[in-house]
Structure 1
Amino acid sequence: MAEKLRYRPNVTVACIIEAEQRFLMVEELINGEQKFNQPAGHLEANESLITACEREILEETGLNLSPAALVRIDQFSASAELAFLRFTFCCSLEHVMAASPLDQDILAAHWFTFEEILARKSALRSPLVLDTIEAYLRGERIPLKSLNSAFLTLAP
């Protein structure tokens, strides 16, 4: 009997950043197509989810921000072979701040209204982008203390 392959979804983080009723989105080219996403990326070894979120925000926007809450955890399958476990965080700022991506794969960072994001629905990186913003607007929040990384470095 053949051994069943273990399910290993990619763990990613994303952050909804809101100021003055606008959302900070990053623009990138994916397979030659213009796509928009929240600042987001993969969890790296020996990194907490919150630290990963802070790092991705810095890399993709040039802003030094920390998430205030977790909006949602999603399981998402992009294909039969590609799955994700996505932790979407949020933070809100008093004012829009100039963003300057450090990551060369990010073409630009834009502050869009919800309506402007809706108008770009077909160019969003995944359906989770709009879905998590809607959850944020409904007030969905999970306290950061729900995430425990105290045992992150127990292994030798």
Structure 2
Amino acid sequence: MHKPHVTVAAIVTCQNKFLLVKERDKHTGEICYNQPAGHLEAHETVSEAASRELYEETGLTLSPSHLVGIYNLHATNGVHYMRFSFAFSCAEQLPPSPIDSDIISAHWFSLDAIKELPLRSPLVLKCIEDHLAGHAYPLSLIYQ
């Protein structure tokens, strides 16, 4: 039976910048950039998973304001991902301090700078563009 990997991503914005993490792709070994993101764990909701991943990968404790979208991706590594992307915002660009040892660093980037980075997946930019286009669905859309 086929089962997609359920993942979550945190789209964090502040003063027209987006928070991305620098990491090494486990399949290619290449350095790349991603939203704070990861897999859904047992006994947590997808929004709780997004907040947990944000904390583990940046040290920031924030709550999502809304769902940006649900994305279906058959990745080049052969894995099928179902990604839930959530919007987070903060009043100031807090300095990130990653806790997860897989994260090399975390930084704030403008949209133009992000377009020049090696991204983990095409969903990184797609989720940001959807957020900027006003895609915003209430958290209550997901029965949790």
Q: CA deviation at 1:91?
A: 1.2
Aligned counterparts of 1:134 and 1:61: Cα–Cα separation in 2: 22
- Which ranges of structure 1 fall in alignment gaps of 5 or more residues? 1-5, 150-156
Aligned counterparts of 1:79 and 1:118: Cα–Cα separation in 2: 20
Aligned to 2:108: 111
Aligned counterparts of 1:80 and 1:21: Cα–Cα separation in 2: 32
SS at match of 1:47: coil
Aligned to 2:136: 141
Aligned counterparts of 2:123 and 2:90: Cα–Cα separation in 1: 22
SS at match of 2:115: helix
SS at match of 1:86: strand
- Which ranges of structure 2 fall in alignment gaps of 5 or more residues? none
Q: CA deviation at 1:113?
A: 0.3
Q: Structure 1 residue 101 and structure 2 residue 101: aligned?
A: no
Q: Structure 1 residue 42 and structure 2 residue 39: aligned?
A: yes
Aligned to 1:78: 75
Aligned counterparts of 1:14 and 1:42: Cα–Cα separation in 2: 9
Q: CA deviation at 1:125?
A: 0.5
Instruction: Indicate the percent of aligned positions where both proteins have the same amino acid.
Output: 45
Q: CA deviation at 1:32?
A: 2.3
TM-score normalised by the chain length of structure 2: 0.95
The aligned amino acid for 2:21 is V
2:122 corresponds, among 127, 145, 155, to 127
The within-5 A match list for 1:5-44 is 6-30=1-25, 31-44=28-41
Count of residues in Structure 1 that have an aligned counterpart in Structure 2: 142
The aligned amino acid for 1:138 is A
**After the TM superposition, which segments of 4 or more aligned residues of structure 1 sit over 2 Å from their partners?**
none
Aligned counterparts of 1:65 and 1:105: Cα–Cα separation in 2: 21
